[in-house]
Amino acid sequence: MARPRDESAVERPRDASGAKFQRQAAAERLSAERDELRGRLASMSRDLEALFAASADSNADDEHDPEGQTIAYERSQLASLIRAAEDHLGAVEAGMIRLQQGSYGICEVCGQPIPAARLDARPTARTCIEHASRTRP
């Protein structure tokens, strides 16, 4: 008995490695990454709030308090990690939009398919390897 065709997998032209693009797998991967990032962001935000709350009752003079520099550093580091996670979440959500629009996996510069290996390594990739290396400073 023949199995019904999986309509969730959209076939595109083969890339250089001969791998077929799998829409459903990409959607699941981006969704899982989005959920993980949201959880991490919630946790880091709670940690940052706890740092602010803990320092609210302490000496507000970070410059002269021996622990003040450490607390300020921890707040700064955690805030930077939150910004990076928010940026990554934005890239994941942009990838999900491209997937819905049918442009996911297509290089935004040359219009050619992005190799499956690149998308496996970097699911938020917007360009092929050739064009990604050209845009780096």
Token pair listed for 94? 């942009």
Q: How far is it, in rounded angstroms, from Cα 81 to Cα 50? A: 16
Q: What is the arithmetic mean of pLDDT over 44-69?
A: 71
Q: Nearest Cα to 29, choosing from 112, 131, 105, 106?
A: 105
Asked whether the beta carbons of 71 and 2 are under 8 A apart, the reply is no
Q: With pLDDT > 70 as the criterion, what percentage of the chain qualifies?
A: 72
Cβ 124 vs Cβ 91: under 8 Å: yes
Question: Tokens 């706890």 appear where?
Answer: 50
- Which of 68 and 130 is assigned the larger pLDDT? 130
Among residues 101, 98, 87, 89, which one has the least CA distance to residue 126?
98
Task: Please state, for a pLDDT cut of 90, what percent of the chain lies above it.
Answer: 51
Question: Can you tell me the mean pLDDT for 42-61?
Answer: 79
Confidence of residue 15 (pLDDT cuts 50, 70, 90): very low
**Residue 40 in contact with residue 85, Cβ under 8 Å?**
yes
Please say if the pLDDT value at position 17 is more than 60: no
